[in-house]
Amino acid sequence: GAVVSQHPSRVICKSGTSVKIECRSLDFQATTMFWYRQFPKKSLMLMATSNEGSKATYEQGVEKDKFLINHASLTLSTLTVTSAHPEDSSFYICSARGPTSQFFGPGTRLTVL
């Protein structure tokens, strides 16, 4: 199946710093990528839809100035958590829209101290 990679897989940072997470579709071009956040014992919550060459569409309640999304090419989307705080600690997962399904990356565990 299609492969989507994420980097880094795990990051620990200090409060107030910014963290960038990369999402790459390795064997197909994805005009649309999605960013999800998983809370403990809860479902995957869609944060934003990232479209190549245009601004991302954010879900209600997601701060666009805090979670910066850039979809610069058909194979790369980045999520930058700016001025991270401990409440931003979570598991962030990207997915890329393929021909018949969405394919997910392995996720990034962010811990903000």
Partner 1 sequence: DQQVKQNSPSLSVQEGRISILNCDYTNSMFDYFLWYKKYPAEGPTFLISISSIKDKNEDGRFTVFLNKSAKHLSLHIVPSQPGDSAVYFCAASNYGGSQGNLIFGKGTKLSVKP
Interface residue list for partner 1 (CB under 8 A): 1, 4, 6, 34, 41-44, 46, 49, 91, 93-95, 97-107, 109
Q: Cβ 21 to partner 1, closest distance in Å?
A: 12
Query: Which residues, listed in sequence order, are joined to residue 108 by a DSSP beta bridge?
Result: 92
User: Which of 75, 82, 81 lies closest to 50, judged by CA?
Assistant: 75
Q: Cβ 83 to partner 1, closest distance in Å?
A: 25
**DSSP codes joined into one string, 46-78:** EEEEEETTSPPEEPTT--TTTEEEEEEETTEEE
Nearer to partner 1, 11 or 82 (CB): 11
Nearer to partner 1, 2 or 82 (CB): 2
